[in-house]
Structure 1
Amino acid sequence: MTKPPLTLYLAAPRGFCAGVDRAIKIVEMALEKWGAPVYVRHEIVHNKFVVDGLRDKGAVFVEELDECPPGRPVIFSAHGVPKAVPAEAARREMLFVDATCPLVSKVHIEAARHHEAGHQMVMIGHEGHPETIGTMGQLPPGEVLLVETAADVAHLAPRDPNRLAFITQTTLSVDDTADVVAALKARFPAIVGPHKEDICYATTNRQEAVKAMAPKCDAILVVGAPNSSNSKRLVEVGSRAGCRYSQLVERATQIDWRALEGITTVGITAGASAPEVLIDEVVAAFSERYAVTVEMVVTAEENVEFKVPRVLREPA
């Protein structure tokens, strides 16, 4: 039987960002330096395939320091942790390595700077997300007010409306965040914003690639984990940019082939914590069923690289 023709559009950039690449490298280098087991507080990045791969090499994933035995290294995830966590690790004399993405650390520094200047912070972010918890945990309780949507701004009750500053989670929708910022500035004209946008370059670039790809596509598949904020935002961006079917899949096995019947064009991208091997897997699954033509949709070139902490670069 002749396979039906299908054009696959591959978004570029897609997949791993520099912060994720660095975090994974930190775990791998820690295992090389100190041997297994190495403990990791929270998933190092939000991707089951990556986490399972590191677990196979000897990483043990835990949620709290209490689960880490004395004498073994512990790594903090790329999402960042509240200030109290490294303080407690130091108190226990634990060997710890911080894999927080440098762009998340930048937001932490920014929050501390505004706090020192006497500003109460407003954080635009998703409640319960590890990055939000980590960022809010940089300052004392009550010093960071959380908003998720523009509608939330109306309910804010700051102690002084003239002494406010805002920061954002790094993995948000660029367009949604712009709406929230506009609402904040309308209600609090004196509010101070970041010197440079907090949403990271990788999140922005991946969303722009989806926007460019969406009008060409009958369907868009975003390869990523259901707990990955930036991956879920890509699905939303695809829908808003005009693609009638925009879905998140963790692996090729999750593709709903019945929903794709009759299509001729599919866009494929991946969240910042999804490895390229999973995209290859999805492309291969389409190639089994269709006569595939692959076209790249390139909207940016990325060459960012972050150094790993010095403790891992020094000899054991």
Structure 2
Amino acid sequence: MEASPAAAAESCSPVDILTDGDWGQLTRPTEEYLSRLSEESTELFRLTNGEQLAITPSSVTFLNLFEDRVEQRILALLNPQDHKTVVAVYLGQGWCSVDQALRTSNRERQELVQVQSVGERIVLFLLNHVICGSSELPANVFPFRDHPVNEFAKIFWKDQEAAGFYTVKLKASLCSTHTSQCYQLPVLDTIFVRERHRGRGLGLEMLEDFCGLFPDGEEELGISRPISAAMYRVCHRYLQSRPEDQTRLWEVEAPGDWSQRENVWLLIQMGIIPSADPSAHPGSS
């Protein structure tokens, strides 16, 4: 039996089929499917290049979506030549290639959409863990940490596919599950644009959206340290057009008290910025 990604191209996207917050709609069918899978299985998954991969218990693994919620996970099919590479995910109704999982059949899903449903959480995980974390991660850059289950995030949808995302550590939220320290200001924690969508202004739109979440001038805003060279260029363009925010935007370390902040505009004006190499960070825009 063959599991073809093309056969379900219009329906396998998690944002189209997992539209609410009920994780049971994913976990129950996945557990039932796995209980039927055996090493003698004849099920195959066809890649876009025509190659067929056998789907057996030894070729699949669970991926935990959240560090603090081990029961919320997805079943992944691994490349037999590279067990770090995820080629497909099981979404309760069948297998879906990573590329198809990052698409939507809904033409109205455009621009920035806040992450709320189970399907959107899966897309955020795939962008962060699979795309940014492996296939589009420069060798000299550490991957982003896994996002907590209730992390505030928005996904940028462009041409019916997930083109990027950003996440926010809200003021008074815990810095981590291992500390009682809380963030003292809202912080733009991670921001990422996929390679084929860079150079189109998406990073600037996401920074503008983040700043627009909070009333102008009401409170200071942070960006997690270290800021990449590409993100500094985005900040430069934004602050040139919004001089009222030049005293408001700070590069911060958690939890962001005054001893852990440096003004972004001042750093730019003083020339204290990283290398101008646009590949220096996965958040290139």
Fold equivalence (TM over 0.5): no
The structure that is helix-richer by fraction is 1
Normalized against structure 2, the TM-score is what?
A: 0.30
TM-score scaled to structure 1, two decimals?
0.28
- Give 1 or 2 for the bigger CA radius of gyration: 1
More strand by share: 2
